[in-house]
Amino acid sequence: MSMYQGNNPTALQSQHWIADSLLMLMQEKPYAQITIQNICKRADLSRQTFYNMFDSKEEVLRFCLREQYEQQLHRFSSKPMISLHETVEVFASVLDGNRTLLQSMLDNQLGGIIADEIAKCVSLFADRFVSHKDQNLPYSEALLSGALAHLLLCWFQQQHPISIQALTELLSAFLSGQLYLFEPDQNDPVPSGSEPRR
């Protein structure tokens, strides 16, 4: 059984009641101490209903995050290409608009779930960032989604975060190879069309 994906209004309402109940409980006690029974009691739903909707507490948190990201990312659905600034702006606005939830997750050492869900959302649109499709797409997708997810999470946790524009420029510098200087490895293959090393 996995997270409910249907459109039944009653089931969808139950999902949201469960999610709201978990979030309220996380304001009262540590995540590790919250049981499925606690969530069901707060939501006034049976354990069977919970397991019809979700597999675990973690899945409830993932549902909460996806709800927020998908609302924002819907605007990209009809765009063939997406700019880096648009992408950073959307994810940053989601993080900034859900500080209570995200801070609660970070306080409970659940930052990995946040980064993972950001990466998954970026992956949904990865084909609109690449200039051409080739056998390296899975690696390019992993690099972009991982870098963006952890950069945004780091930005969110700063007491005095930089601007969205500065964040975009930082990511752009990283992706274009301008951020770090690495000494060339003499064993690296010579790029096609370039002079061989002497």
Residue 91: the pLDDT is 84
Tell me if 65 sits within 8 A of 117, measured CB to CB: yes
Tens-place pLDDT, residues 119-149 = 888 777 766 665 555 566 678 778 888 888 8
Q: Which amino acid is at 160?
A: H
Residue 109: which pLDDT band, with cuts at 50, 70 and 90? very high
With a cut of 60, say whether residue 51 has pLDDT above it: yes
For residues 76-96, average pLDDT: 79
- Rounded CA-CA distance 113/104 in Å is 12
Per-residue confidence (pLDDT) for residue 155, from 0 to 100: 92
- Is pTM, for the whole model, over 0.85? no
Residue type at position 91: F
CA distance 98 to 118: 14
Q: How far apart are CA 51 and CA 63, in angstroms?
A: 14
The rounded distance, in Å, linking the Cα atoms of 33 and 26 is 9
pLDDT in tens, 53-71: 999 999 999 999 988 887 7
Domain ranges of the chain: 9-55, 61-175
Q: Is the pLDDT of residue 185 over 80?
A: no
Q: In this structure, what token pair is assigned to residue 63?
A: 């549902």
The answer to whether domain 9-55 has CATH 1.10.490 is: no
pLDDT value for 1: 54
Tell me the per-residue pLDDT of 5-17, one tens digit each, with 9 for 90 and over: 888 899 999 999 9
According to the model, what pLDDT value does residue 189 have?
59
